[in-house]
């Protein structure tokens, strides 16, 4: 099935290149046929430059950005979720993603009727898209997959359009999600946080210790962040992607 005249398409846009290009392509493909709505889940722990990028994307696409928030957490804070749930992350994912993204999206959907959804699944994420439509919903338009666009191609498109990516990428982080993402276990990642954002590292170390969450793994051993040697390294940041959408996962490309 394909969208028909008068349908509404919700594009769920984060602050990454993929979802920005997904919005642009959706407008190009269906803008004259459907109502396009761009929706973001604001997260307090993201870098402040992400807001600048969202505004730039809004101008580029000619679509105003809307926000979907979880009523239970008016501060939009992952830290508040971890504290309230006394849990940070595990094999089933992270409660911050469930509360601030998935359930926030569901609350938004309860008040906004849409026929179609677009997420930033790229051509190198076909299994994630297939899993999403199998377990969540089947009215998702695989805009980037159909266009054959992978993550690097999306980054190339926004830079060629004159958009400056969120500064978090230039700091060496693998994505524009929360700084100090608790789904990460790599010592390489956490020592990057320690160098670039020492106050965040200190806060994560204190909270994870207090909640009994050993957030990193080094030489095969799970440990608290305050036990991690400053020289410790794991796999390269370039081989890492830490997903934060309706699914929580850390995986190697």
What are the residue ranges of CATH 3.40.50.620 in the chain? 8-160
What's the pTM value of the predicted model, to 2 decimals? 0.88
Q: Is 106 helix (H, G, I), strand (E, B) or coil?
A: helix
Instruction: List pLDDT tens digits, range 179-211.
Output: 999 999 999 999 999 999 999 999 999 999 999
Q: Which of 188, 180, 198 is nearest to 244 (CA)?
A: 180
Note the pLDDT tens digit of each residue in 85-133: 999 998 878 999 999 999 999 999 999 999 999 999 999 999 989 988 8
99, 183, 207, 208 from 215: Cα distances, Å: 20, 8, 11, 7
CATH number of 8-160: 3.40.50.620
Nearest Cα neighbor of 24 from 175, 147, 140, 176 is 147
């Amino acid at each position: 099935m394909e969208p028909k005249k008068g349908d509404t398409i919700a594009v769920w846009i984060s602050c990454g290149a993929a979802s920005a290009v997904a919005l642009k392509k959706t407008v190009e493909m269906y803008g004259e046929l459907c109502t396009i709505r761009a929706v973001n889940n604001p997260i307090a722990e993201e870098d402040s430059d992400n807001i600048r990028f969202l505004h730039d994307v809004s101008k580029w696409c000619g679509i105003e950005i809307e926000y979907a928030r979880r009523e239970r957490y008016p501060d939009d804070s992952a830290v508040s979720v971890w504290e309230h749930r006394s849990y940070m992350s595990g094999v089933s994912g992270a409660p911050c993603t469930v509360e601030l993204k998935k359930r926030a999206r569901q609350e938004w959907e309860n008040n906004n009727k849409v026929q179609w959804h677009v997420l930033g699944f790229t051509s190198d994420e076909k299994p994630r898209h297939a899993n999403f439509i199998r377990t969540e919903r089947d009215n998702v338009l695989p805009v980037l997959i159909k266009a054959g666009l992978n993550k690097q191609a999306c980054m190339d498109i926004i830079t060629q359009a004159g958009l400056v990516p969120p500064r978090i990428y230039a700091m060496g982080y693998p994505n524009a999600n929360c700084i100090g993402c608790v789904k990460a276990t790599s010592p390489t990642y956490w020592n990057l946080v320690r160098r670039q954002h020492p106050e965040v590292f200190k806060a994560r170390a204190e909270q994870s210790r207090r909640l009994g969450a050993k957030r990193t793994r080094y030489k095969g051993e799970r440990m608290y962040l305050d036990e991690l040697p400053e020289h410790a390294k794991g796999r390269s940041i370039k081989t890492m992607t830490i997903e934060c959408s309706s699914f929580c996962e850390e995986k190697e490309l």
